[in-house]
A and B are shown apart, each in its own frame.
Chain A
Amino acid sequence: MSEPSIIRRGFRLVAGYVRAHPGSFAVAVTGSVVYAAGSVLSTVALGYATNEAIIPAFKGESPNPWWAVAGLIGVAILRTGGVIVRRYYAGKTAAATRVGLQKGVARRIIAMPLDRVRSRPQGQLLSHIDSDTESAVDAIHPLPFSIGVVSMLIFGTISLALLDIPLLLVTIGLLPVIGVMSWLNATVVQHPAAIERQANNAVTAAASEIIDGVQVVKTLGREDAETKLFADTVEELRVARVRLGTRKTAFAVSFSAVPQLTTIVILAVGAVRVGDGHLDAGGLVQAVALFSVLAFPLQVIGFFLFDLPPSVVGHDRVSLVMSEPDDPLLHTLDGDSLPSGPLSAALANVTVGNSDRRRLSHADLEIRAGETLAIVGPTAGGKSTVLEVLARLRPCGDGSVSIAGTPLSGIDDSALRNRLTLATQNASLFHGTLLDNVSFARDVDEDDLLAALHTAGADDLQGTLPEGYMTIVGERGVTLSGGQRQRVALARALAGHPGMVLLDDATSAVDPTLEEQIIQRLAGLPMTVVMVTHRVAAMTAADRVALVAEGRVVEVGHHEDLLRNPIYRGLVDAYLASEVLS
């Protein structure tokens, strides 16, 4: 069985959490101990009330209820204070632990190799940072109470020992039964609970697939067939839930019976002891109350054991991200700087990818300072990879890349990012104002921002957007069209006088007339422009065109000259034919 090992791992995990936040956890445990003491004392108060207030009242003596009431209220304050402190600080410990995990994941997303980010569906990273971190810390909540239970048992034992030894023996004999039952409960439902979670995920996946593909389902007339498939998945979930529920119910019902039967045993023994004169009525009240106080916390240990495995699983999932290595390409401190003005670049014998998927093989390319170079080629031929290698987003294998004569691998990261920029087709914008997106947390003065917006053909947005350049844009709540987003992303790349701009189909959604104007403006600026493009107009306007196919730079030259190349000619024809109509 693998259960023992997962429980053990769970203990280690939780111990690590506690070490990270010892202060708030200690406060929570203290609250729990105070609660335990309060609970046991409240039974003493009940016994006292019985002896000093209730029984005298019916014996015609003059009862004094005020001390009893003061005691009851005093211990109630202790008890509820303990509960509030424990719950608040347990929650705080869990939340603080979760923050640690979330920030760790956030840092990994920024620092891990770009390939590793792209290899994951976005939803997966979202659930790592949300639901997985949540379940990873879930086991913290019941832990302080579980620890407090130990002190409660100690207090309870002392209290019973002071009261009556035979009653103590009966109780101590019976408590382990409840402890074992609660432990059994946790282990017996573990496996069915895991199966239920799986079945539930399957139902969610099946439902989303059918709704995403509803048009196909309808046109294929598969409504009944898909409903049937879905009903089968739901049936599996139902069976899993009934199995889990049956076990839980059986235990819950026995749980409610065992303490009651035990209480009756205590009452029986207690009644005999009262009859013998060894115990008074208040003592018996106290013993019965004490047992009901002790029975519930023992179940709490079961809750903790039950929460442990999902926490381990959640933490394992978070670890998938945490164990990602740093991107070696980000590690350049105190490196070389770059000259001002337009930059030249050179790729020599660059090979990217493995034997499964070769992106570039032995590619060579010279880029002249100040030129506009169009990169053209079939899909998956390596065009974007050329840009990624230049931007140091991918390693260049055995070959070498240099910018303005300096080896790329030796250039300081901040120098490189200031002097060489990138804009891509999907134009990711971030929440914040349009202007924030263009300055992008860099030190660029406002005139430069406005100039960049103008070059990118985005200056109309000042007038057309509700708040002009101060309009909030971003991935969600978007008001921008695809073409508008691309123009803002282009302005972002142009801001701050870079020496080289890399454009990966960065104006594909921009109106063709405007696109032509933008390309002309770019040619007039003192910077090198390297652009991957599908638009024939852009190829015509470029100083030179590089044809990239099957991972190599096949030919470099002017558009007119390249038309003699059959691959290039074929591509140009295909692009013209497939240009979008509406």
Chain B
Amino acid sequence: MTATEPGTFDIIRRGFEISPGFKRAAILLAIVGVFEAAGRAVVPVLFQLIIDEGLLRPGGISTDTLTRLLLITVAVILFVTLASLIAELSVLRVAERALARLRVLVLRRAIDLSLAEHADERRGDLVSRVTSDVDTVARFLDWGAYSWIVDTSVAIGAITVMFFYSWQLALVVLVSFLFMIPVLKVLQYHQRRGYRTMRSRVGALLGEVSETVGGAEVIRALGHGDASIESLDVAIDDVYQAQVDVNRFTAVLFTVADVFGTVALSAVIVITALWGPDWDLDTGTVIAFLFLVQLVIAPISELTEVIDQTSLALAGWGRSMELLDRPAALPEPDDLTSDSMPDGALSIDVQGLSFAYDTQMVLKDVDLHIPAGTSVAVVGATGSGKTTFVRLLCRLADPTGGEVRLGGADLRYVTSSERRDRVRMVPQDGFLFATSVRDNILRGRDGASDADVEVAVDRLGLRDWISRLPNGLETELGPGGEGLSVGERQLVALIRAQLADPGLLVLDEATSSLDPVTEKAMSDALDRISRERTTISVAHRLSTAERADLIVVFDQGHVVETGSHIDLVDLGGRYATLHQAWQRGTGSDDDLSDQP
């Protein structure tokens, strides 16, 4: 990320580099602009010709001349219309293809970013870069882009025609419009400030509503309803006030071009009346000027309408592209350097393993050997490095120092397809896709069949559990797995992992307490899934730690203890302290000894 905001031209240059389609579309639009300018300038020019061909002389213009002029003009308009239609339709196709490509590019890079970028607090930002930021570009393409390029071309075209007729009058018009720029700037500054206030007040209102909805129960239970309505009303009135305030500037802004256009017109008329003949002007020219000035007013009025939208779009475009500048997390090995893992359960060898998020070291020089087939519980306080450790085992990131070997193969040199078949992770929140339970499981292995799903369910002994779901395997889930508790989602994720039959399974236990039914199903399934493979659990429950062959205790990025539950309790170190804290909190030794 750069410290300074990129300027408008930087964004456009970079945008054209990433999406050459937008550049082509812009060039095509400029051509449309030339056509449009020509098409609109044709009426004032015709007017001038009709007058100068003798309209005002006694007897008027000859019918032949008039017909000839009219036919030429109509032909020009028809040609220009057809040409700009064709050009605009190709602009549409080119730009939309570029926009679609940009959406996919940005999303793909968001997927490929390192997990540090996917930390919870950054997720909202990431989603908005992929969706609403690109949407501002889309809205700009609908309207703003056309206005900028075509309206500018028309205004420039009209002024060019003016210079062709009379450079003196053209200069007068140009100077009149130049005075408009500072006025526009001031109004626009106030408008932008007003919008900023409005956005922040809308944010405050939404915050208030979400508090009210989230706290609906407490509001009722403590009789706070009237007070809540009062403060919601204040937030709503604040938004209203901000909107009405910003409206003042928006209303005035639109008329600025008209006001300065009138100044230009008045100047033209006065100058013509006072010095017209001396300046070699004639009637036709001046009348053409009256209409050409109108041609400058309309595009500028339109531009004042899109200024705000434009700055939003530029910001959105910049933000989505900034994502593309962040490096993808993991380079893939090529054929020459790739390494392969053995079949069956995988051993784990970790040497000098370090990892830093930005500048913060979370793992420091960890060495560890875990034989194939071991079931391991990883224990430690929040921030001890345990979660990062298991993520590195799945190559969700590469270590900043040292190496991870699974079954002897350096993980960095294992192809992604092999890694995905052999190493599986069940994440803490048990994220599931918004589809049926069955489809979620099927995504565990390419080409898996319904029969494979049944086998996996049976191998984990979850047939009964599945039948308790509202619609069994066909139960449809909401976004993220809504409809199931976190523990239930993890069970589905566990079946999905079983389907792949990996050599290493990594489980990040849920921190919230499970209901007894899920707890029972989970511990049975874990027992079964850990029989034929190496399993690593980030343990939040004592029962999980007790059940493991080996406990690895992390503290401040170091492995401080390894051993079985009994060994570590006897050792009286970090694990024994954790264990004691647990006992103090929940009951006596007698309760504990009753545990199976």
Contact status B515-A208, CB under 8 Å: no
Contact status B223-A418, CB under 8 Å: yes
Q: Which of A223, A476, A536, A580 has the most CB of B within 10 A?
A: A580
Q: Which of A65, A212, A245, A289 contacts B291 (CB 8 A)?
A: A289
Contact status B382-A582, CB under 8 Å: yes
Q: A72-B265, A91-B250 are in contact. Are A431 and B211 (CB under 8 A)?
A: yes
| B residues less than 8 Å from A440 (CB atoms) | 222, 224, 227
- Complex CA–CA separation, A118 to B219 (angstroms): 13
Residue of B nearest to A418 (CB): B223
- Complex CA–CA separation, A539 to B432 (angstroms): 36
| A residues less than 8 Å from B427 (CB atoms) | 215-216, 219
Interface of chain B, main secondary structure: helix
Contact status B516-A428, CB under 8 Å: no
Contact status B443-A76, CB under 8 Å: no
Measured between C-beta atoms, what is the minimum distance from B91 to chain A in Å?
Answer: 8
- Across chains A and B, the number of contacting residue pairs, with CB separation under 8 Å, is 447
Q: A292-B294, A512-B584 are in contact. Are A91 and B247 (CB under 8 A)?
A: yes
Contact status B479-A212, CB under 8 Å: yes
Interface stretch of the complex, out of A5-13, A82-90, A298-306, A517-525: A82-90
Measured between C-beta atoms, what is the minimum distance from B389 to chain A in Å?
Answer: 14
- Complex CA–CA separation, A69 to B287 (angstroms): 15
Contact status B92-A576, CB under 8 Å: no
Contact status A426-B206, CB under 8 Å: no
- Complex CA–CA separation, A536 to B594 (angstroms): 14
Q: In chain B, residues 284-327, which have Cβ atoms closer than 8 Å to a Cβ of chain A?
A: 286-287, 290-291, 294
Contact status A54-B287, CB under 8 Å: yes
| A residues less than 8 Å from B211 (CB atoms) | 428, 430-431, 474-475
Measured between C-beta atoms, what is the minimum distance from B479 to chain A in Å?
Answer: 6
- Complex CA–CA separation, A235 to B101 (angstroms): 9
Q: A380 in the interface, Cβ–Cβ < 8 Å?
A: yes
Q: Which of A92, A200, A212, A235 has the most CB of B within 10 A?
A: A212
Residue of B nearest to A260 (CB): B77
Scoring B residues 273 to 284 as 1 if CB is less than 8 Å from chain A, else 0, what string do you get? 110110001110
Q: Which of A226, A256, A537, A575 has the most CB of B within 10 A?
A: A256
Q: A320 in the interface, Cβ–Cβ < 8 Å?
A: no
| A residues less than 8 Å from B73 (CB atoms) | 264
Q: Which of A53, A55, A88, A207 has the most CB of B within 10 A?
A: A207
Measured between C-beta atoms, what is the minimum distance from A33 to chain B in Å?
Answer: 16
Q: B521 in the interface, Cβ–Cβ < 8 Å?
A: no
Scoring B residues 531 to 569 as 1 if CB is less than 8 Å from chain A, else 0, what string do you get? 000000001111101000000000000000000000000
Q: Which of A63, A261, A264, A428 contacts B218 (CB 8 A)?
A: A428
Q: Which of B131, B209, B269 has the most CB of A within 10 A?
A: B269
Q: Which of A54, A536, A570 contacts B272 (CB 8 A)?
A: A54
Q: A20 in the interface, Cβ–Cβ < 8 Å?
A: no
| B residues less than 8 Å from A65 (CB atoms) | 269-270, 272-274
Q: In chain B, residues 126-151, which have Cβ atoms closer than 8 Å to a Cβ of chain A?
A: 126-127, 130-132, 135, 138, 142
Interface stretch of the complex, out of B231-239, B342-350, B360-368, B449-457: B231-239
Q: In chain A, residues 196-215, which have Cβ atoms closer than 8 Å to a Cβ of chain B?
A: 200, 203-205, 207-215
Q: Please, how many residues of chain B have a CB less than 8 angstroms from a CB on the other chain? A: 159
Contact status B229-A580, CB under 8 Å: no
Contact status B61-A250, CB under 8 Å: no
Contact status B205-A79, CB under 8 Å: no
Contact status B587-A209, CB under 8 Å: no
Residue of B nearest to A120 (CB): B213
Q: Which of B42, B236, B294 has the most CB of A within 10 A?
A: B236
| B residues less than 8 Å from A327 (CB atoms) | 220
- Complex CA–CA separation, A87 to B225 (angstroms): 37
Residue of B nearest to A257 (CB): B81
Scoring B residues 28 to 71 as 1 if CB is less than 8 Å from chain A, else 0, what string do you get? 00000000100110110011001100011001110000100010
- Complex CA–CA separation, A281 to B286 (angstroms): 12
Measured between C-beta atoms, what is the minimum distance from A62 to chain B in Å?
Answer: 9
Q: Which of A204, A540, A582 contacts B587 (CB 8 A)?
A: A540
Q: Please, how many residues of chain A have a CB less than 8 angstroms from a CB on the other chain? A: 157
Interface stretch of the complex, out of A162-170, A176-184, A267-275, A454-462: A267-275
Contact status B43-A122, CB under 8 Å: no
- Complex CA–CA separation, A281 to B228 (angstroms): 69
Q: B176 in the interface, Cβ–Cβ < 8 Å?
A: no
Measured between C-beta atoms, what is the minimum distance from B250 to chain A in Å?
Answer: 7
Contact status B585-A537, CB under 8 Å: yes
Q: A60-B277, A578-B543, A579-B585 are in contact. Are A88 and B262 (CB under 8 A)?
A: no
Residue of A nearest to B522 (CB): A578
Scoring B residues 248 to 274 as 1 if CB is less than 8 Å from chain A, else 0, what string do you get? 101110110011001001100110111
Q: A226-B111, A417-B221 are in contact. Are A122 and B214 (CB under 8 A)?
A: yes
| A residues less than 8 Å from B233 (CB atoms) | 103, 106
- Complex CA–CA separation, A230 to B252 (angstroms): 43
Q: A125 in the interface, Cβ–Cβ < 8 Å?
A: yes
Q: B381 in the interface, Cβ–Cβ < 8 Å?
A: yes
Scoring B residues 87 to 130 as 1 if CB is less than 8 Å from chain A, else 0, what string do you get? 01100110011011001100110111001001000010011001
| A residues less than 8 Å from B225 (CB atoms) | 110-111, 330
Q: A218-B396, A581-B539 are in contact. Are A72 and B262 (CB under 8 A)?
A: yes
Scoring A residues 121 to 163 as 1 if CB is less than 8 Å from chain B, else 0, what string do you get? 0100110011000000000000000000000000000000000
Q: B444 in the interface, Cβ–Cβ < 8 Å?
A: yes
Q: A69-B270, A130-B202, A578-B519 are in contact. Are A422 and B222 (CB under 8 A)?
A: yes
Contact status A253-B283, CB under 8 Å: no
Q: Which of A219, A238, A289, A418 contacts B394 (CB 8 A)?
A: A219
| A residues less than 8 Å from B208 (CB atoms) | 431
Q: B416 in the interface, Cβ–Cβ < 8 Å?
A: yes
Residue of A nearest to B420 (CB): A221
Q: B433 in the interface, Cβ–Cβ < 8 Å?
A: yes
Contact status A215-B396, CB under 8 Å: yes
Q: B215 in the interface, Cβ–Cβ < 8 Å?
A: yes
Measured between C-beta atoms, what is the minimum distance from B415 to chain A in Å?
Answer: 10
- Complex CA–CA separation, A446 to B207 (angstroms): 28
Q: In chain A, residues 418-456, which have Cβ atoms closer than 8 Å to a Cβ of chain B?
A: 418, 421-424, 426, 428-431, 440-442
Contact status A261-B585, CB under 8 Å: no
Q: B3 in the interface, Cβ–Cβ < 8 Å?
A: no
Contact status A580-B277, CB under 8 Å: no
- Complex CA–CA separation, A410 to B107 (angstroms): 58
- Complex CA–CA separation, A375 to B294 (angstroms): 79
Q: Which of A95, A114, A203, A272 contacts B247 (CB 8 A)?
A: A95
Q: A87-B254, A99-B236, A274-B55 are in contact. Are A210 and B111 (CB under 8 A)?
A: yes
Contact status A512-B585, CB under 8 Å: yes
Contact status A513-B283, CB under 8 Å: no
Q: B189 in the interface, Cβ–Cβ < 8 Å?
A: no
Contact status A54-B262, CB under 8 Å: no
Contact status A122-B290, CB under 8 Å: no
Contact status A242-B93, CB under 8 Å: yes
Contact status A53-B272, CB under 8 Å: yes
Contact status A76-B259, CB under 8 Å: yes
Q: In chain B, residues 421-472, which have Cβ atoms closer than 8 Å to a Cβ of chain A?
A: 421, 423-425, 427, 431-434, 443-444
| A residues less than 8 Å from B131 (CB atoms) | 203-204, 207-208
Q: Which of B251, B420, B431, B585 contacts A212 (CB 8 A)?
A: B431
The 8 closest A-B CB pairs, nearest first, are A275-B60, A221-B420, A417-B223, A512-B585, A428-B215, A379-B515, A65-B273, A441-B227
Could you show 29 A-B contacts with beta carbons less than 8 Å apart? A50-B290, A53-B269, A57-B273, A92-B244, A95-B240, A102-B239, A110-B219, A200-B135, A211-B127, A213-B480, A216-B432, A218-B111, A218-B115, A221-B416, A221-B420, A222-B443, A253-B81, A254-B81, A263-B43, A271-B66, A275-B59, A289-B291, A428-B217, A442-B223, A475-B210, A475-B214, A535-B585, A570-B516, A581-B578
Give me 14 other A-B pairs in contact (C-beta within 8 A), A289-B294, A330-B220 excluded: A63-B272, A72-B266, A83-B251, A129-B206, A219-B425, A238-B96, A253-B84, A276-B60, A288-B43, A327-B220, A422-B222, A426-B214, A489-B218, A536-B591
